[in-house]
Amino acid sequence: MTWYELDHSRLVLEYLRVSRSYPHCVLNRARDSTLYWTGESRIEVGRIKPDTMAFRVEYPEDFPATYPDAYVVRPELPLEEVGHEWHRWPRRGNICFVKPKNWQIGTTADEIISKLEDWYFNYIAVKNNLIAAMPEVGRATLPEELGGNG
């Protein structure tokens, strides 16, 4: 039995929270019954308007005991940009949005999507030399002369 069959109320909560915050996102079910969200997000990084980020948030079998995997589907990210510096896991390239030991079972997919947006903001800021390195958590603050955090 899947996590969402065992805890239907959690599935409803996930669906309502994501649908309210990100109405463009779509909940999908893979052939193996894995559930995952797909969507796109457009952000501005100071005065920079990067490509739209397409993402995927995939629930593991033992959700919510284990955190979902979060991926940037587009733009394509260089394979060598993995590890702590980039907050990406080396094996599959998924985004590290929380330290595994800090995962909270009450966290919902809308919060993860928000963290993906923060990650993309920071990634674009680093790639464009607006900040020296990605922060440990949250969204970097840009000085006003670089366009602020619009």
Complete DSSP assignment for 72-102: EEESPPPTT--BGGGTB-TTT--B--S-GGG
What pLDDT is stored for residue 150 in this prediction?
47
Domain holding 126: CATH number?
A: 3.10.110.10
Q: Kindly state whether residue 60 falls inside one of the protein's structural domains.
A: yes
Dist CA 83 CA 86 (whole Å): 6
Task: Convert 90-117 to b/e letters by CB count within 10 Å (16 or more is b).
Answer: eeebbbbbbeeeeeeeebbbbbbbebbb
Q: What is the pLDDT of residue 145?
A: 72
pTM (2 d.p.): 0.94
Provide the pLDDT for residue 3.
96
Whether 147 is covered by a domain: the verdict is: no
The amino acid that residue 85 corresponds to is E
Q: What is the pLDDT of residues 30-62, one digit of tens each?
A: 999 999 999 999 999 988 999 999 999 999 999
What pLDDT digit, counting tens, does each position of 112-127 carry?
Answer: 999 999 999 999 999 9
Is 77 a member of any domain? yes
CA 58 to mean position of chain CA atoms: 10
- Residue 150 domain flag: no
In a domain, 149, yes or no: no
- Our count of domains for the chain comes to 1
pLDDT at 146 over 80: no
Provide the residue range defining the domain that includes 40: 3-142
